[in-house]
């Protein structure tokens, strides 16, 4: 068995979409993938959004160890080598990313920001639940791919095609 592929999900604040994606991929693809998340500019004392954590718990997905962090953490020499870097918000997709050692494959999977939804608590939670379901569908496709589609030469085009699938 080959070692798991390291996947980094990026968003601006690393409080909602990237956190959801990290948790889902670690839940679904634990034997083939190791997921991480980070933000381009997390606020001081940034934490994962409580409604995102609530949606994950309700879906039976562990929230252990989830915390907001800067993408600078993953550009350090001692950081895990990334095989795939996926932006999940349009703001992060348009930013200049740090240099990722090893030139990982990259893709953009855009999702609306559930924390920007106006409404009561139930409506806001539903926005997080819907975003979680959308992320989960795409990650299920990624996790079900045969090994040949996950080789370095094919990974970028495969990940980018998944952005168009849903």
107-159: per-residue pLDDT in tens?
899 999 999 999 999 999 999 999 999 999 999 999 999 888 888 767 878 88
Element (H, E) at 156: helix 152-165
pLDDT for the residue numbered 157 = 81
- Distance between CA atoms of residues 83 and 85, nearest Å: 7
Average pLDDT over residues 19-46: 93
Tokens (6 digits) for 93: 């997709």
- The answer to whether 37 and 44 have CB atoms below 8 angstroms apart is no
pLDDT tens digits for 78-110? Answer: 899 999 999 998 665 565 666 677 789 988 999
- The answer to whether 73 and 146 have CB atoms below 8 angstroms apart is no
pLDDT for the residue numbered 147 = 84
Average pLDDT over residues 6-12: 94
CA atoms 144, 4, 106, 22: torsion sign: positive
- The answer to whether 38 and 74 have CB atoms below 8 angstroms apart is yes
pLDDT for the residue numbered 91 = 64
The percent of residues in the chain predicted with pLDDT above 90, rounded, is 61
Highest mean pLDDT among 33-37, 45-49, 74-78: 33-37
pLDDT for the residue numbered 99 = 66
pLDDT tens digits for 39-73? Answer: 988 888 889 999 999 999 999 999 999 999 999 89
Pairing of strands 105-108, 84-87: parallel
Average pLDDT over residues 14-23: 96
pLDDT for the residue numbered 51 = 97
pLDDT for the residue numbered 148 = 82
Distances (CA, A) of 77 to 2, 73, 141: 23, 9, 31
CATH 3.40.50.720 is right for the domain spanning 5-157: no
Tokens (6 digits) for 14: 């690393």
Cross-strand partners of 36: 8
Q: Would the pTM of this model clear 0.85, i.e. be above it?
A: yes
Classify each residue of 101-134 as buried b or exposed e, where b means 16 or more C-beta atoms within 10 Å of its C-beta: eeebbbbbbebebbbebeeeeeebbbbbbebbeb
Cross-strand partners of 37: 9
Any idea where the domains of the chain sit in the sequence?
5-157
């Amino acid at each position: 068995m080959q070692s798991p592929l390291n996947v980094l999900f990026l968003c601006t604040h690393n409080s909602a979409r990237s956190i959801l994606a990290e948790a889902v991929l670690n839940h679904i693809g634990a034997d083939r993938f190791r997921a991480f998340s980070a933000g381009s500019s997390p606020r001081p004392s940034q934490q994962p959004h409580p409604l995102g954590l609530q949606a994950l718990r309700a879906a039976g997905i562990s929230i252990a160890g989830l915390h907001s962090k800067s993408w600078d953490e993953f550009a350090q020499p001692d950081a895990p080598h990334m095989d795939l870097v996926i932006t999940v918000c349009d703001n992060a997709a348009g930013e200049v990313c740090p240099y990722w050692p090893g030139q990982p494959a990259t893709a953009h999977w855009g999702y609306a920001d559930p924390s920007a939804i106006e409404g009561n608590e139930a409506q806001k939670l539903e926005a997080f639940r819907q975003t979680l379901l959308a992320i989960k569908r795409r990650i299920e496709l990624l996790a079900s791919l045969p090994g040949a589609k996950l080789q370095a030469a094919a990974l970028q085009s495969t990940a980018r095609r998944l952005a168009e699938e849903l």
